[in-house]
Structure 1
Amino acid sequence: MTGSTIFHALGLHMHQPPGNLRLLIEANPEEAEQIIRCYERPVRYAARYPDTARLHVGFSGVLLEQLLDPDIVDRYRHILDIPEMLDGYARAENIELIGMGHSHPIFPLIPQADWPEQLARARAAMLRAFGRTALGFWPPEMAFTMEMVPALVEAGYHYLVVDGVQVRPEDGITDAFRPYQVCHEGVCITLVPRDRDLSKAQEHGLDANWFQNDVRWRVGDSPRPHESRLVTTWSDGENGGWFRQTREGSGFFGYFFAPYMEQVRGGEYPITPVSLSAYLADNPPVAQAQVQTGAWSVGPTAGYDRAQWSGSERQRAAATAVSDLSARYWDLCERLSAPCPALEHARTLILEAQTSCFLFWGEAWLPHLYARTVPAAAQLDAAAATLRDAAPPALAEAVSPQTNPGAGVSTPAAGSAR
């Protein structure tokens, strides 16, 4: 429908923890096939509807590294041509790529000193995979805190998406259908609220008629129903039977997305799909907001306290162990020489240990975290020993090796990411 004032930004979030694509194809080939096909469908359907489809797709850096790995390409070749798929994303003008942290970390739970590298490594992986980078940012697990704003702007992001229930407009009027400007320490970025309820429907099942009726009802009940309305839905793109459905006519793209695009193409649908960068260029934010620190709602949790990732004593101890290792790394880099190339492998392990999946499953996946912190600690100990041998007594005591938390913990069997 021409002249529609309701616009829809549809986003999909893709992530697998480091090494998981290899573990899955070895331990559960059927699930591996279900997951890998989820990465191909967005680009195929975007090509089918170049005139109407507008998609936002985000990949974690560690997932892109796996998709770029020649061994993974070979192991999945009988299912999918991964390089051809990545090339499709590189060429798709109606897919807006979205950035995130490299290893999919809970940013509020990791040291701020690690934020720039998590952001830089993710952007570098995206550039290698697609030959282009992202303007928009999706906080892994929707875990956001206002202190992230300067780091995001410094990394090159123009806007971010957060869960709408976390947004606190400065005028006191809750309106999830418009963008905001958020500022921290004098640095500002555009914020787009995600509609939590509609996003849950997107994740679990909906159809085009229900969607338009529900959106029109929500817009009609919003504070500014006659202004331009931006409805933003975002969900995982490879989790749950709805997205993994191999009979496409019964899954997200066949049952919802294709009929939605057909109705838009027919000119009678009251909602216009839009890319966020294009929408924000024409509709820059005029309102200010703050964002309450939190994450998205998972299971019985509301997300505000991030209990899913830090609710138990062992989860908190594991997160502390990673932060302590990061502090030791930065201290040793100061004592050695920047950029500390001798500790590059330890650095990679520390960043990988910040993967949210290792904390998400309660205590079940903590061994995956410790499988990285233990060898990282050993490498830091070796570097510290080198300094200690060459240092005066006072300095030698300061760089003495520390206990490796998690030593002896067995690693669980392979499984899918959340």
Structure 2
Amino acid sequence: MSNPIHHALVLNLHQPPGNLQELLDQHSWEPHEILYAMDRIPRSLWGYEDVGRVHLSFSGTLLETLVDPHFQSRVYGVVDCGAMLWHFQNTALFRILGTGFYHPVLPLIPEADREEQVRRWLGMARHVFWRSDFQGFWPPEMGFAMELIPLLRRLGFRYVLVDSDHVEPVTAMDWHELRYRPHIARHNGEEIIVVVRDRELSDAQESGMELAWFLNEVEARTRWCDFAPLVTTATDGDNGGWFRNPQPEANFWGLYRALLEQTRAGGAVQPVFIDDYLDRYGAHGEVRVGTGAWNTGWHHGHGFMQWTGSQAQKDALERLRTLSKAVHDARWKAGERRLEDPETLALLEQAMWRLLRAETSCHYYWGEAWVPRALNDMRASEAALEKIVARLGE
């Protein structure tokens, strides 16, 4: 009997700070399409709890918007945000992946801010999704570097998603084993399981495909596996016409439900939660993961050129590094001097969250177009920092 082919579906859901609100103010149809695309996810899976298995990454900025009472009231006739978030608590259908709150490309931001980003996301996600166990981690933009491993392990993550273009074997292994089996990556004495996203199949998932093509392609790619392969596809779940199209026969969820029907009928491809696969089959072999991101519409992800290609982008990221050090130094000194009055604490929080929001990947993604948004947040952080420094008497 041949090994079953396991499929892990991963969807990233992110909206930049204030983006949905701005689109609503412009009386655009786009925020409705985005909200419908998100609301369609649980609705498409009702009745498929026996076979449906979906991993979701929600950025903190998106969650912040969806739980905001004012925003909820504005879109109530479109989508019931509270009910939608409640549906995502269904552990039979969904695994929620950890991420960074403000959706930063983690290797590009100061090391001291990486933990702040993830801890803030954990704080909100535990409340919204009523769970404390987040085994998997989704690096925003799949931006990964080996130096992140100790942090992720310290924060309790079991595995991290990485892109296939950046994975290199340390242990000798064939191409199909490298791509369709989880592995171990090590850095500075810490190790984590890496789960490899198939870039080409993910591209097809993003742009639209037929089920017969997907099944044939998966079977062809895993034909030589002498183990139970794990095929992982990961894309945005709320962008692009394939996910926003409301017609079941012309969107991703029509295809996915057809896949689930085939699974019920004994088909070769079986949707799976990654943690369940790891519990059963474990991870094999050691790999290195090169520093990089997933592919975008403009770039292959190597070297983070999408976010660092212009001088304005580079200058803003350098300013972030300087500001981050100043904010963390001020917080440390305020703690040493036991400055714990409400106003000082409020200023410290203002300086910190505006710094973290300035690190949002979207501010750098669009060339120089959105860099001013990052600079606005940095100026607000610097203004709060000046008041803190005055209180410190420096």
TM bracket, shorter-chain basis = over 0.9
Name the CA distance, whole Å, in 1 between partners of 2:88 and 2:199. Answer: 27
Compute the displacement of 1:4 (Å). 4.5
Give the corresponding residue for 2:100.
101
Q: Are the aligned partners of 1:46 and 1:95 in contact in 2 as well (CA < 8 Å)?
A: no
Give the corresponding residue for 1:79.
78
Matches within 5 A, 1:386-405: 386-387=391-392, 390=393, 396=394
SS in 2 for 1:9: strand
Compute the displacement of 1:48 (Å). 2.7
1:191 lines up with 2:190 in the alignment? no
Q: Are the aligned partners of 1:47 and 1:92 in contact in 2 as well (CA < 8 Å)?
A: no
CA deviation profile, 1:200-243 (whole Å, cap 9, x unmatched): 000000122111100011112x5xx2211110000000111111
Give the corresponding residue for 2:24.
25
Give the corresponding residue for 2:206.
203
Name the CA distance, whole Å, in 1 between partners of 2:125 and 2:237. Answer: 18
Compute the displacement of 1:247 (Å). 2.3
Compute the displacement of 1:249 (Å). 2.4
Q: Are the aligned partners of 1:4 and 1:271 in contact in 2 as well (CA < 8 Å)?
A: no
Compute the displacement of 1:28 (Å). 4.1
Give the corresponding residue for 1:399.
none
Q: Are the aligned partners of 2:16 and 2:62 in contact in 1 as well (CA < 8 Å)?
A: yes
CA deviation profile, 1:46-72 (whole Å, cap 9, x unmatched): 323111111111101111111111011
Counterpart pick for 1:381 among 360, 381, 386? 386
Give the corresponding residue for 1:361.
366
Name the CA distance, whole Å, in 2 between partners of 1:139 and 1:274. Answer: 20
Q: Are the aligned partners of 1:7 and 1:274 in contact in 2 as well (CA < 8 Å)?
A: yes
Matches within 5 A, 1:274-313: 274-313=272-311
Identity of aligned residues (%): 37
Give the corresponding residue for 1:171.
171
Give the corresponding residue for 1:246.
246
SS in 2 for 1:35: helix
5+ residue gaps, structure 1: 391-395, 397-418
Give the corresponding residue for 1:138.
138
SS in 1 for 2:146: coil
Alignment length, in residue pairs? 383
SS in 2 for 1:358: helix
Compute the displacement of 1:129 (Å). 1.1
Give the corresponding residue for 1:43.
42
5+ residue gaps, structure 2: none
Output the amino acid matched with 1:323. R
1:372 lines up with 2:377 in the alignment? yes
Q: Are the aligned partners of 1:153 and 1:189 in contact in 2 as well (CA < 8 Å)?
A: yes
Give the corresponding residue for 2:114.
115
- TM-score under structure 2 normalisation? 0.94
Name the CA distance, whole Å, in 1 between partners of 2:12 and 2:298. Answer: 21
Q: Are the aligned partners of 2:51 and 2:263 in contact in 1 as well (CA < 8 Å)?
A: yes
Q: Are the aligned partners of 1:12 and 1:237 in contact in 2 as well (CA < 8 Å)?
A: yes
SS in 1 for 2:349: helix
Q: Are the aligned partners of 1:14 and 1:59 in contact in 2 as well (CA < 8 Å)?
A: yes
Q: Are the aligned partners of 1:13 and 1:237 in contact in 2 as well (CA < 8 Å)?
A: yes
Output the amino acid matched with 2:382. A
Name the CA distance, whole Å, in 2 between partners of 1:191 and 1:350. Answer: 30
Superposition RMSD on alpha carbons, in Å? 1.5
Q: Are the aligned partners of 2:161 and 2:194 in contact in 1 as well (CA < 8 Å)?
A: yes
Matches within 5 A, 1:137-156: 137-156=137-156
SS in 2 for 1:71: helix
Give the corresponding residue for 1:352.
357
Q: Are the aligned partners of 2:144 and 2:162 in contact in 1 as well (CA < 8 Å)?
A: yes
Name the CA distance, whole Å, in 2 between partners of 1:123 and 1:4. Answer: 36
Compute the displacement of 1:3 (Å). 6.4
Compute the displacement of 1:371 (Å). 1.8
Compute the displacement of 1:101 (Å). 0.7
Name the CA distance, whole Å, in 2 between partners of 1:215 and 1:196. Answer: 13
Compute the displacement of 1:91 (Å). 2.6
CA deviation profile, 1:386-406 (whole Å, cap 9, x unmatched): 33xx3xxxxx4xxxxxxxxxx
Name the CA distance, whole Å, in 2 between partners of 1:316 and 1:165. Answer: 24
Name the CA distance, whole Å, in 1 between partners of 2:90 and 2:218. Answer: 31
CA deviation profile, 1:2-51 (whole Å, cap 9, x unmatched): 96421100110000111112112211431000001121122122323111
Compute the displacement of 1:178 (Å). 0.2
- TM-score under structure 1 normalisation? 0.89
Name the CA distance, whole Å, in 1 between partners of 2:38 and 2:156. Answer: 25
Name the CA distance, whole Å, in 2 between partners of 1:156 and 1:239. Answer: 30
Output the amino acid matched with 2:297. G
Q: Are the aligned partners of 1:244 and 1:251 in contact in 2 as well (CA < 8 Å)?
A: yes
SS in 2 for 1:383: helix
In the superposition, relative to structure 1, how do residues 374 and 308 fare at CA in structure 2: closer, same or farther (>3 Å)? same
SS in 1 for 2:185: strand
In the superposition, relative to structure 1, how do residues 41 and 336 fare at CA in structure 2: closer, same or farther (>3 Å)? same
CA deviation profile, 1:103-143 (whole Å, cap 9, x unmatched): 01011110111111111111111112111142100111111
SS in 2 for 1:90: coil
Q: Are the aligned partners of 2:11 and 2:55 in contact in 1 as well (CA < 8 Å)?
A: yes
Q: Are the aligned partners of 1:46 and 1:94 in contact in 2 as well (CA < 8 Å)?
A: yes
Output the amino acid matched with 2:357. E
Give the corresponding residue for 1:270.
268
Give the corresponding residue for 1:414.
none
Give the corresponding residue for 1:182.
185
Output the amino acid matched with 1:6. I
